Amino acid sequence: MSNTCTGRGVCAPAGVLAHGVACGIKANGKHDLGLLHFPHGASVAGVFTQNLVKAAPVLLTSEKVKRGHCKAVVVNSGNANACTGQKGMDDAKTMCRIAAHALGCSEEEVLVCSTGVIGEPLPMEAVERGIYEAAKGLSTEGDEAFAQAILTTDTGIKTCTVDCGDFCIGGAAKGAGMIHPNMATMLAFITTDVKASAEELQSLLREAVDLSFNRITVDGDTSTNDTVLLMATGASGAVLEEKRKPFRKGLIDVCQHLAKAIVRDGEGATKLVKVKVEGTDTEEDAKKICSTIATSLLFKTALFGEDPNWGRIAGALGRAGVPIDPNGFSVFIGDVPVVERGVGVEGDWETPAHKVMTQSEFEITVRIGNGPASYWMWTCDLSHGYVSINADYRS
Amino acid sequence: MSNTCTGRGVCAPAGVLAHGVACGIKANGKHDLGLLHFPHGASVAGVFTQNLVKAAPVLLTSEKVKRGHCKAVVVNSGNANACTGQKGMDDAKTMCRIAAHALGCSEEEVLVCSTGVIGEPLPMEAVERGIYEAAKGLSTEGDEAFAQAILTTDTGIKTCTVDCGDFCIGGAAKGAGMIHPNMATMLAFITTDVKASAEELQSLLREAVDLSFNRITVDGDTSTNDTVLLMATGASGAVLEEKRKPFRKGLIDVCQHLAKAIVRDGEGATKLVKVKVEGTDTEEDAKKICSTIATSLLFKTALFGEDPNWGRIAGALGRAGVPIDPNGFSVFIGDVPVVERGVGVEGDWETPAHKVMTQSEFEITVRIGNGPASYWMWTCDLSHGYVSINADYRS
């Protein structure tokens, strides 16, 4: 059986309807309310922020996902519904109730996500109007409107479709600032028409997130609202048990595509850089060093300046909290060796290293020693644009 | 006995000569070689970077300080002499040998510090010329020339004098970027004419550094070269044993004055902000939360934008790795309460909170719970200036 993907995102798999509208949460009149609908239901898995300060919709949806089944997801942007106390929780529940009423399903079958400014109450009249309007417009071509409705400082929509032959995986994500491992201010909605149990989905989603959204950093800040949801309608007739290998690969592909799109759209970012740390004793050590380099402001501003100033890498790896031999590490910018055994290489390393850094995507590799472990992350540069966006975020 | 302070920095105490010159290490022709001389010797204590990647002069000087006595310190800026292998260590030793020759003391009595770009060999001909020139110009009025010679991206000299009646404490510091607790890219030279043993000095210096240089953050990056040296000539005749209380206070005052000057001159900084975290069970917990907030890019850009966006404080404290009650924390911007028990306060908190943030110096207080512990740090805002300075540092 073959199943042709349609649409460019969450509506690509069969059995998924979507729409997005502007209901007035955002002062600028942009789309701010999105709705996903699975008329015949879907198995669902979710991964949520590890920040201790969790927004009301995260608290609510992470509980609901445990049931393993849903019929709809309602999402608003422009307001995170975080640090809003009991009213925030009441509002999140009200959003589910309104969507359930509009779609003719039960409140328990509706999940809710919010993203935007923290600490302000949701304008519930606008939200209610938006949910009904979005419900009316639901279609199998609503991918783009939905993808629009979940954005905040993003410069464009982030969608992805992978055609696996018998079945299909689609996704939409949002995220640009407050991005850091353990997911930061991001939302991702991944849909598939493979038939799968919630338990099967959960373990595969966890792995795919660890290889994608948990490896991206824009500014080291994490958020109160991060959520990745994976919903499987089963409408293709293909069964996950028999398609485990292509599904696993497809899911990782979708997550990595969306994760890279988030870093590439990092607030003010002009470059996507993969930082690889090799040769440590444990993956945990490699991760600590990798994260320290990838989040160093001095490193990230040097990326923006296309300046192969490897001293900043040396400085970062020395403060990562991992015992290293300061006379044993090597650094490569692309394929260009710039440090060998803790000392800068001789000759003109700077011209070729600078040339690598003029590219919009490249890798930097740090070899710590001869250990068996390694880790990598995607980061971006720190530019004037980041400062401009974040100095006046709320105005 | 009374001792009048003279000069504005390291030459204020009796028994200290200083000078600084431009010898050509910096391409821009600015001062880059400084010399301190104690003709009758001085007791010495030192605190050094905790970065595992240590520059050659740090390795050398931290060993020499253990002798507890010195007659001179030679400092260059414009080149960190870090990650320079055996040549770097040879060069650091050569700097001491040249200075000893110029001053007529032994090589063991000369300490050395470097700051600037990492990974490039020192231009030793220029350095040698500079040391002899600086030695010729030594005087009791050389404070300012010395303070100039230790700067890198600093916008101005940082000096301080405290007159303690019977004795005097003076200091000069440099540092603007790569500033973070555990001292980062900073150098500080503190002189006094009290009579003290190296052991007495060391414990008091450690305490003063913990209350000053270890509480400042500009960008979260630490460095290979940080050094704080305290030298006591004894020339005032006052004895530390009898003056412990005023000396301790004076030393903390000098260190805090210089530390604040560093943050105020943080690369691109326009604001000096004291972040206070109170009510935790342990100081370690308060420190973790304080550091996470004070280094958050989103928080620091909001400071630049004078935007009382406390959601970024909530986001930061939730990811600090300390168990907190998300419904129990309060936030004050200056004296203005903006969050109470995890929820934004009602009414117009924004106008007075914004007004506080328009000041060039203010405090932000986060109360976590009812625990007995607290911690504070000084941080600055993140501006366009930071990005400009660091994108093209080496050009």
Instruction: Return per-residue pLDDT of chain A as tens, 395 residues.
Output: 334 455 579 999 999 999 999 999 999 999 999 999 999 999 999 999 888 888 999 999 999 999 999 999 999 999 999 888 899 999 999 999 999 999 999 999 999 999 988 888 999 999 999 999 999 999 999 999 999 999 988 889 999 999 999 999 999 999 876 554 443 468 999 999 999 999 999 999 999 998 998 888 655 555 677 899 999 999 999 999 999 999 999 999 999 999 999 888 877 788 999 999 999 999 999 999 999 999 888 888 889 989 888 888 988 888 888 998 988 999 999 999 999 998 889 899 999 999 999 999 999 999 999 999 999 999 988 888 777 766 665 54
Chain centroid offset of residue B66 CA: 21
The answer on B282 and B218 residing in a single domain is no
Report the largest interatomic distance among the alpha carbons of chain B, rounded to a whole angstrom.
71
Number of Cβ within a 10 Å radius of residue B54: 21
DSSP labels for B114-140? EEEESS----HHHHHHHHHHHHHT-BT
Please report the pLDDT score of residue B239 as a whole number: 96
DSSP state at residue A214: G
Q: Are B374 and B286 in contact (CB under 8 A)?
A: yes
Q: Is residue A6 part of a domain?
A: no
Of these residues, A185, A222, A292, A295, which one is catalytic?
Answer: A185
| Chain B hits for A114, Cβ within 8 Å | none
Q: Domain tally for chain A?
A: 2
The answer on A186 and A62 residing in a single domain is yes
Please report the pLDDT score of residue A182 as a whole number: 40
Calpha distance B368→B357 (Å, rounded)? 22
Q: Tell me what ipTM this predicted complex has.
A: 0.70
Q: Is residue A82 part of a domain?
A: yes
**Are A393 and B309 an interchain contact pair (Cβ–Cβ within 8 Å)?**
yes
Using 50, 70 and 90 to split pLDDT, how confident is the model at B7? low
**Are B388 and A384 an interchain contact pair (Cβ–Cβ within 8 Å)?**
yes
The answer on B298 and B202 residing in a single domain is no
Q: Are A265 and A271 in contact (CB under 8 A)?
A: no
Instruction: Give strand pairing partners of B187.
Output: B174, B227
Q: Are B185 and B177 in contact (CB under 8 A)?
A: yes
The answer on A189 and A236 residing in a single domain is yes
Token pair belonging to A73: 């997801």
Please report the pLDDT score of residue A235 as a whole number: 95
State how far residue B374 is from chain A, nearest Cα, in angstroms.
20
The answer on A288 and A236 residing in a single domain is no
Judged by a CB distance cut-off of 8 A, whether residue B379 touches chain A is: no
pTM: 0.80
- Over the stretch B351-365, which tens digit does the pLDDT of each residue have? 999 999 999 999 999
Q: Is residue B136 part of a domain?
A: yes
Q: Which of A163, A160, A230 has the alpha carbon at shortest distance from A2? A: A163
Q: For tokens 């629009």, what's the residue? A: A148
Q: What's the average model confidence in pLDDT over B321-327? A: 89
**B106 lies in which domain range?**
17-262
Give, to the nearest 10 degrees, the angle between helix B297-304 and helix B283-295: 60
Q: Is residue A124 part of a domain?
A: yes
- Based on the residue annotation, tell me whether B61 is a catalytic residue of this protein: no
CATH number at residue B107: 3.60.70.12
Name the residue facing A54 among B80, B219, B326 (closest C-beta): B326
Q: Which of A232, A295, A234 has the alpha carbon at shortest distance from A263? A: A295
CA dihedral in degrees (B362, B367, B368, B372; nearest 10)? 110
The answer on A299 and A384 residing in a single domain is yes
| Chain B hits for A51, Cβ within 8 Å | 315, 318-319
Judged by a CB distance cut-off of 8 A, whether residue A39 touches chain B is: no
Please report the pLDDT score of residue A223 as a whole number: 66
Please report the pLDDT score of residue A395 as a whole number: 46
CATH number at residue A387: 3.10.20.340
Name the residue facing B343 among A52, A83, A309 (closest C-beta): A83
**Are A311 and B82 an interchain contact pair (Cβ–Cβ within 8 Å)?**
yes
- Over the stretch B128-151, which tens digit does the pLDDT of each residue have? 999 999 999 999 999 999 999 999
Three-state SS at B278: strand
The answer on B296 and B255 residing in a single domain is no
User: If contacts are CB pairs under 8 Å, which of residues 190-249 in chain B contact chain A?
Assistant: 219-224
Sign of CA dihedral A333, A339, A342, A344: negative
State how far residue A61 is from chain B, nearest Cα, in angstroms.
18
Which 3-state string (H, E, C) describes B189-253? EEEECCECCHHHHHHHHHHHHHCCHHHEECCCCCCCCCEEEEEECCCCCCEHHHCHHHHHHHHHH
Domain boundary among B262, B283, B314: B262
The answer on B305 and B278 residing in a single domain is yes
The answer on B166 and B119 residing in a single domain is yes
The answer on B225 and B276 residing in a single domain is no
**Are B312 and A342 an interchain contact pair (Cβ–Cβ within 8 Å)?**
no
Judged by a CB distance cut-off of 8 A, whether residue A62 touches chain B is: no
Q: Is residue A8 part of a domain?
A: no
Q: Which residue of B has its CA nearest to A324?
A: B52
Sign of CA dihedral B69, B71, B76, B77: positive
**Are B309 and A343 an interchain contact pair (Cβ–Cβ within 8 Å)?**
no
Q: Is residue A10 part of a domain?
A: no
**Are A319 and B344 an interchain contact pair (Cβ–Cβ within 8 Å)?**
no
The answer on B277 and B245 residing in a single domain is no
Q: Is residue B7 part of a domain?
A: no
Q: Which of A311, A351, A357, A315 has the alpha carbon at shortest distance from A333? A: A357
Q: Is residue B240 part of a domain?
A: yes
The answer on B223 and B161 residing in a single domain is yes
**Are A391 and B52 an interchain contact pair (Cβ–Cβ within 8 Å)?**
no
Name the residue facing A314 among B53, B220, B327 (closest C-beta): B53
Q: Which residue of A has its CA nearest to B383?
A: A387
Domain boundary among A244, A264, A284: A264
Report CA-CA distances (Å) from B376 to A220, B177, B210, B275, B288: 21, 20, 11, 5, 10
Who contacts A348 (Cβ-Cβ below 8 Å, separation ≥6)? none
Calpha distance A248→B202 (Å, rounded)? 59
Judged by a CB distance cut-off of 8 A, whether residue A326 touches chain B is: yes
Report CA-CA distances (Å) from A318 to A268, A331, B116: 28, 13, 17
**Are A177 and B298 an interchain contact pair (Cβ–Cβ within 8 Å)?**
yes
Best of A48, A50, A52, A226 to substitute, by most chain B Cβ atoms within 10 angstroms, is: A52
**Are B305 and A51 an interchain contact pair (Cβ–Cβ within 8 Å)?**
no
Cα angle A162, A168, A174 (rounded to 5 degrees) comes to 55
Domain boundary among B195, B230, B262: B262
| Chain B hits for A339, Cβ within 8 Å | 83, 119
